[in-house]
Structure 1
Amino acid sequence: MADLFAWLISFFILIALIVLVIYQLMCLADLEFDYINPYDSTSRINKVVLPEYIIVGGLCLFYLITGHWIMSLLCAPYLYYNVRSYRQGNHLADVTEIFNQLPKEKKQRLFKLFYLVFILFLSLFWMIYTSLDDNYD
């Protein structure tokens, strides 16, 4: 039963991460269609970048603590990318270069979104598998 709660917690954490990435994509789309100025768009994006990075690190650590090694290994590339971009100083959107980097930023966040959806489906699969396995025991 504890394993089922661990999968449920990871499911909600993944939903929160997906919401953060979709929010960033919406800010970039608003900027692209000129509904918002570049300063507001970058400030909104930059407010959620560090919480996203912290939540990804917490999720990877959560998988390690609960003994879900495969899921932890699947989260490791995303965590590595976040750590690398943070250490290089590329994690924040620059207000002066946002229009030049708009296609790159959108592709980057779309890739993150698809990766998180893949991890979410795996988490859902293991949650259902665990719940069915608990019923037979």
Structure 2
Amino acid sequence: MWELSTGGFDVTMTLSLIGVGGLIALIVIQLLLLTDLETNDINSIEFSRRINKIILPEYIIQAAFTVWFLLSFRWVLCVLNLPVLVYHYMRYQSRLHKIDPTKVYQITSKFGNHLMIKLVFYMIMFFIYLFVLLFNLFSE
């Protein structure tokens, strides 16, 4: 656990908690929009417009934290976040990150499952970051 006692780790973990909290908020917003779509409160064009504004910032925040962990030699945290970064990169490269208004109703259940898995991942990462921060603070 030598990685937990290096200098500047408190700042890194605090920023990571804030960042993953923002990611959780973005996923919850996407889930609320999906619920609005399923209950016909918004149409598919409005849904796609709103979702497409949120997806790219989520990818950028996730990439920034993964690269930060890599550059600051936080290997364990980088490896934990790397699969999601690779997944986001593959979706971005294949142009699957944008939601098409004409195909929204075909992908709602798949998209909902996708969002729930990401929400669970981000919540697990939140608690890991919180544990590491508290471990580092109380071990001194």
TM-score, L = length of structure 1? 0.94
Specify the SS of the correspondent of 1:34.
coil
Number of equivalent positions? 134
Q: Which of 10, 17, 24 is the aligned partner of 1:18?
A: 24
Does 2:26 match 1:31?
Answer: no
Q: Which of 95, 99, 103 is the aligned partner of 1:93?
A: 99
2:113 is matched with which residue? 107
Q: Which of 65, 70, 84 is the aligned partner of 2:76?
A: 70
Task: For structure 1, list consecutive stretches of 5 or more residues without a partner in the other structure.
Answer: none
- For the residues of structure 2 that align with 1:83 and 1:58, how far apart are their CA atoms? 13
Percent identity (aligned): 28
- For the residues of structure 2 that align with 1:66 and 1:89, how far apart are their CA atoms? 31
1:120 is matched with which residue? 126
Does 2:49 match 1:50?
Answer: no
Cα shift at 1:65: 2.3
Q: Which stretches of structure 1, 4 residues or more, deviate above 3 A after TM superposition?
A: none
- For the residues of structure 2 that align with 1:55 and 1:48, how far apart are their CA atoms? 11
Cα shift at 1:64: 1.5
Task: For structure 2, list consecutive stretches of 5 or more residues without a partner in the other structure.
Answer: 1-6
RMSD: 1.0
Q: Which of 127, 133, 136 is the aligned partner of 1:130?
A: 136
Specify the SS of the correspondent of 1:56.
helix
- For the residues of structure 2 that align with 1:34 and 1:8, how far apart are their CA atoms? 39
TM-score, L = length of structure 2? 0.92
